[in-house]
Amino acid sequence: MKYLVLIIDGAAGLPLPERDNKTCLELAETPNLDAMAREGTAGLVRTIPEGVEASSANACMSVLGYNPIDYPVGRAAIEAKSMGITINSGEALFRCNLVTIEDGKMKDYSAGRIRTEEAGQLIEAVNRSLGSDSVRFYPGLNYRHILKIRGREDTLEAECTPPHDISGQPITGYLPQGPGSDVLVDLMKRSEKVLGEHPVNIARQSRGLSPANMLWLFWGSLKEPEFPAFKTAYGLDAAVTSAVDVILGMAKMMDMDILEIAGVTDGMNNDFSGQAAGALTALEKYDMAVIHVEAPDEAAHGGNIDEKIEAIQIIDSEIVSKLRARPGDDLRVLIMPDHPTPIETRTHSPEPVPFLLWGKGIASNGGDGYSEAQAAKTGLFIDPGYNIMSRLLKD
């Protein structure tokens, strides 16, 4: 048997009053998802346990069959793992976004989705100016980077707010607070001068683009705990394709291989078709392939209804269609978001998400399309969510 898991990041959401109280999943034209929901088993699954942060890290951990409560690991540590950053005792890690602040407000948590090449130059400049023997900045992908601080574990006690939670709001009340926050706030404020004077930002502004004019620190964490390898836990060789470090880092922690597929990005310029083809080809070598697509989540964080709908439709037409059309009868598929990202809030939420299981040995349970409401109608509810993997693999 071969298995494929498709994670449609942030695709679920809440009814939109301005769109006849329909969600983006309901508004999107998804003939392939709808057909698979009718042919297979659909329902709801709670990926975020009560009291656990509604992050992609925790949600995707559940999708891949690991209980987030048993493996409490900070987002920064997961991303650092993907980037090959060594983490030693006494070192604290923080996610470090390049953001755009305008008139004291969080204008853009991603600095206009700044390109990796430009962002790398900015982070290198910040590291030259603000880095030291105990402070180092590491460039990552696009707007997402990492800060490592040695000898100040108290910074992990600071209360930090993700920038995508405060889009359009004044930042004053959301700067790090509490123990250790002085270090973080100092670095954030000092970054403004370094970034504001950098040629990359001067050039971006001349082109009418948002400048990356401040660093935003959040998601602090220590070294990650030990994870059992996916093959040890489930007996399968698995590989992952994604464009974001949190998924790639998690895959490395679970000893899954990373698929190098050209054109895979975190936005609408992703080669959706190529990502699907690469994952299906990987099944010739692996027992399971995991496709993670970030585009719907990015659109939702930006509050863009039409872009989120379009991303879902492209996933249906260019990825899901290929899964349905794969030759042979030895495939089982799991398709689901990791968490909802409602347009109204522009951030993750802990509500259950719709899933569908399709393929060999999986019978219909009466679903009539793929959406939050249709999944709820089947009456099937999986909680805790990490049991979804066992359900996929069940004989």
Can you list the domains of the chain with their CATH numbers? Answer: 2-73+226-393 (3.40.720.10), 80-221 (no CATH)
CA distance 150 to 160: 19
- Specify the pLDDT at position 222: 84
- Specify the pLDDT at position 223: 76
- Specify the pLDDT at position 292: 98
pLDDT at 99 over 80: yes
In sequence order, the β-bridge partners of residue 203 are none
Q: Give the three-class secondary structure for 329.
A: coil
Arithmetic mean of pLDDT over the chain? 95
- Specify the pLDDT at position 77: 87
Provide the pLDDT confidence category of residue 89 given band limits of 50, 70 and 90.
Answer: confident
Contacts of 82 (CB under 8 A, 6+ apart): 245, 246, 248, 249, 252
CA distance 298 to 95: 17
Give per-residue pLDDT as tens, 153-191.
999 999 999 999 999 999 999 999 999 999 999 999 999
Check: CB of residue 359 under 8 Å from CB of residue 331: yes
Check: CB of residue 388 under 8 Å from CB of residue 68: no
pLDDT at 380 over 80: yes
Nearest to 156 by CA among 87, 98, 65, 64: 87
Task: Please state the rounded mean pLDDT for residues 273-277.
Answer: 98
CA distance 101 to 172: 11
Lowest-confidence region among 81-90, 156-165, 230-239, 363-372: 81-90
Answer whether the bond into residue 352 is a cis peptide, omega within 30°: no
| CB neighbours of residue 135 within 10 Å | 16
pLDDT at 225 over 80: no
Nearest to 215 by CA among 183, 244, 259: 183
DSSP for residue 159: B
- Specify the pLDDT at position 216: 98
CA distance 381 to 42: 9
Give per-residue pLDDT as tens, 251-271.
999 999 999 999 999 999 999
Give the pairing of strands 105-108 and 353-359. unpaired
In sequence order, the β-bridge partners of residue 353 are 45
CA distance 90 to 263: 38
Give per-residue pLDDT as tens, 115-124.
999 999 999 9
Nearest to 336 by CA among 66, 25, 23: 25
Q: Is 260 exposed, middle or buried (0-12, 13-18, 19+ CB in 10 A)?
A: exposed
CA distance 106 to 115: 19
CA distance 49 to 71: 12
Q: Of all residues in the chain, what percent carry a pLDDT higher than 70?
A: 100
